[in-house]
Structure formats: structure tokens, C-alpha cells
């Protein structure tokens, strides 16, 4: 009886050990797969056009600290080719709704991870929500981005050098060399002429230094005179200003109009005289009137002469 009871306890112990081992096996298997069946996890989703080698169980980090793992990766059921990535967070850290799940290289070997870049929204995502996605450029893309401007500059430099070589080839042919030689000769002759001209100018300055000094002295005297008579010049300018103001204020058009009227009347008077109108006109055009006046003047002259010679004929004196 006691032996049966011991055997029964042994069987219970073996069964319990088997159950514990099975539970440990299941937990360890899921743990190695990245699943923590004992802890509470929050699941989020993100959609990508490419995942750059991201696989299940890759870590999820916030500010460099591992807070979760990638749970599953699969194509979107709508057959669009986009990839759905589900990842879990092993704690209750609040995730704003405008956060971004960015795939990046976590080491030099190219291992991928998700960096959860937290947003600044006051609203938080819940279990099963979808967050925005972003993919960090790979090493090759970064290298291409850095090398591409250098490549373009190198190509432009090679094109410029090719153009320069062609230009040199076109310049340094036989005809161009002759023209270039002739141009250098002309430049040399030009410098010689400039040198001769400079020498002539030096000789002229030496020869005419006295006259130049005299001219400078006179210019200095003239400047001194102008400076001394500055007040007079100012007065003359003021007088001219007054005259111009007076002319501007005077009624010049009316004056010219009166002059034109007077000239017209004079022309009319001269025309009347030429036509013999009036006494002056008759005198100008009638000879008989002129002769009569001349005869009258002659008679008057004879009368005055006779009066001087024979005053007794015209003046009588009586004495009482």
C-alpha cells in the first residue's frame, strides 16, 4: 500500500515536471523568437514601400534604448506591393500619434532596427494603431549622394579641359602662330613707341618747365583774384537774378503788342504821305506847293533885306 502511494507521488512529480518543462520550453521558444508571452505588449503597425532587410525580432528603439521588437512583416492584402510591419512595445511608454517609425542601420554590419521618433502631439496612439513610416537611406545611397556632386564637377572639368585643348589646338596652328608672332611684334613696337613718347614728354617738361611754372603761377594768381572778388561775383549774380525776376514779372507780350500797334500806325501815316494825303503829303508830292513856299520865302527874304536897308520906308518918327 505504501509502495503504491510512493509510486503515485512519483507519477505526480514526473507529470508536474513534464508540465513545467513544457511551459519553460514554450516560453523559451517564444522568447528566442522575440515573443514575451508573460508580459503585456502594445502592438503598432507601419506601412513601407521597402524595408531594406528588416526581419522579425529586430529591435525597436526610442532614443537608443530598446523598448520592443519587430513582430511580423508581410505584404499589404490589397496587393499594392506595400509592406506592413507590426512591432510591439514591452512597456506602457506613451507614443504620440504623429510619431515616426524609421528603419535605420543599427550597426556597421548593416543590421536593421526601427527607431521610434516621438512626435509632439498631445494625443497618443493606442494598441493596434498605425504610425507614420520612414526609411533611412542606405550606405550606398549616402555614398552616391555625396559622390554625385563630385562626379558632376569632374565631368564638367573634363568637358572644360576638352574645350580648352581644342581651343589650344585651333590657336597654335601654323597660321595662328604667325599671327601670334606678328601680334607680339606689334605689342613690342607699341611699347617702344610708348617709351619714345614718354621720353619726349620728359624732354618737353624739362624744356618748358619755366613756362609751365609761369602758367601755374598765373593760374594761382587768377584763382586768388577770383577768391578775392567772390563778393563782387555774388553781387553780379544777384543783380542778374533781380533783372531776370523783373523781366519775368514785366508784361513783355503787352509791350511788344503796343510796339506792333505803333509801327502799324507809322506805316499807315507814311503810306498816307506817299499817297499825298494831308499837308505833309501834298508837300511831298506837289511841286507847285513847294515852289510857292520857296517863292514866299524868297519874297520874305527880299522884304527883310529892304527893311534893313531902308528902314525909313517902313518906320516913321514924329517929334513933338
- Number of domains the chain is built from: 2
Strand pairing report for 83-89 and 42-48:
antiparallel
> For the domain that residue 108 is a member of, what is the CATH number?
2.40.30
Residues 15 and 43 in one domain: no
Whether the predicted pLDDT of 194 surpasses 70: yes
Taking the C-alpha atoms of residue 70 and residue 41, their distance in angstroms, rounded to an integer, is 12
Amino acid 100: pLDDT = 94
Higher confidence at residue 296 or residue 172? 296
| pLDDT more than 90, % of the chain | 17
Domain containing residue 92: 39-136
Q: Do 52 and 125 reside in the same domain of the chain?
A: yes
- Show which of 71, 102, 136 is a domain's final residue: 136
Which of 133-142, 186-195, 232-241 has the weakest average pLDDT? 133-142
Q: What are phi and psi of 186, to 5 degrees?
A: -65, -40
Is 22 domain-assigned? yes
Q: Which of 117, 136, 155 is the last residue of a domain?
A: 136
> What is the structure's pLDDT at 119?
92
Residue 49 lies in a domain: yes
- pLDDT at residue 319, as a whole number: 46
DSSP states along 121-169: -SSB--TT-B-EEEEPPPHHHHHHHHHHHHHHHHHHHHHHHHHHHHHHH
| pLDDT grade for 226, boundaries at 50, 70 and 90 | confident
Tell whether 3 is covered by a domain.
Answer: yes
**Same structural domain, 24 and 90:** no
* 307 grid coordinates: 527893311
258-267 confidence digits (pLDDT tens): 788 888 888 8
Condensed to tens digits (0 to 9), the pLDDT of residues 12-29 reads 677 677 777 776 766 666
Based on the fold, state whether residues 7 and 84 are members of the same structural domain.
no
48 & 110 share domain: yes
pLDDT for 62-91, tens place per residue?
998 999 899 999 999 998 889 999 999 987
pLDDT digits (tens, 9 = 90+) for 239-262: 877 777 776 666 667 777 778 888
- pLDDT-derived band at 114 (thresholds 50, 70, 90) equals very high
Q: Which of 107-116, 167-176, 296-305 is most confident?
A: 107-116
Q: Are residues 45 and 130 in the same domain?
A: yes
**Which positions ≥6 away from 281 have C-beta within 8 Å?**
272, 273, 274, 275
243 lies in some domain: no
Q: How far apart are CA 69 and CA 86, in angstroms?
A: 9
Q: Say if 180 falls within a structural domain.
A: no
| pLDDT, tens digit (0-9, with 9 covering 90-100), for 43-59 | 999 999 988 889 998 99
136, 153, 174: which is the final residue of a domain? 136
Contact predicate 57/85, CB 8 Å: no
Give the predicted TM-score (pTM) of the model: 0.38
Amino acid at each position: 500500500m505504501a509502495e503504491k502511494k510512493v509510486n503515485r507521488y512519483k507519477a505526480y512529480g514526473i507529470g508536474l515536471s513534464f508540465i513545467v518543462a513544457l511551459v519553460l520550453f514554450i516560453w523559451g521558444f517564444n522568447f528566442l523568437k522575440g515573443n514575451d508571452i508573460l508580459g503585456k505588449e502594445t502592438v503598432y503597425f507601419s506601412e513601407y514601400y521597402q524595408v531594406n532587410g528588416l526581419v522579425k525580432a529586430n529591435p525597436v528603439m526610442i532614443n537608443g534604448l530598446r523598448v520592443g521588437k519587430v513582430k511580423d512583416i508581410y505584404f499589404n492584402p490589397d496587393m499594392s506591393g506595400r509592406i506592413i510591419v507590426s512591432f510591439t512595445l514591452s512597456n506602457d511608454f506613451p507614443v504620440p500619434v504623429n510619431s515616426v517609425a524609421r528603419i535605420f542601420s543599427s550597426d556597421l554590419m548593416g543590421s536593421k532596427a526601427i527607431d521610434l521618433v516621438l512626435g509632439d502631439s498631445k494625443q497618443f496612439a493606442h494598441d493596434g494603431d498605425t504610425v507614420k513610416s520612414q526609411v533611412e537611406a542606405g550606405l550606398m545611397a549616402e555614398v552616391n549622394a555625396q559622390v554625385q556632386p563630385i562626379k558632376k564637377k569632374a565631368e564638367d572639368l573634363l568637358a572644360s579641359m576638352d574645350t580648352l585643348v581644342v581651343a589650344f589646338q585651333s590657336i597654335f596652328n601654323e597660321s595662328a602662330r604667325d599671327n601670334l608672332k606678328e601680334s607680339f611684334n606689334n605689342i613690342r613696337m607699341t611699347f617702344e613707341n610708348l617709351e619714345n613718347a614718354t621720353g619726349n614728354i620728359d624732354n618737353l617738361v624739362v624744356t618748358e618747365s619755366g613756362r609751365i611754372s609761369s602758367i601755374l603761377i598765373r593760374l594761382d594768381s587768377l584763382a586768388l583774384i577770383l577768391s578775392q572778388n567772390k563778393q563782387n561775383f555774388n553781387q553780379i549774380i544777384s543783380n542778374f537774378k533781380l533783372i531776370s525776376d523783373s523781366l519775368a514779372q514785366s508784361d513783355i507780350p503787352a509791350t511788344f503788342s503796343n510796339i506792333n500797334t505803333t509801327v502799324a500806325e507809322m506805316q499807315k501815316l507814311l503810306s498816307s504821305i506817299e499817297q499825298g494825303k494831308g499837308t505833309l503829303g501834298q508837300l511831298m508830292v506837289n511841286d507847285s506847293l513847294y515852289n510857292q513856299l520857296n517863292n514866299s520865302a524868297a519874297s520874305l527874304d527880299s522884304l527883310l533885306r529892304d527893311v534893313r536897308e531902308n528902314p525909313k520906308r517902313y518906320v516913321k518918327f514924329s517929334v513933338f
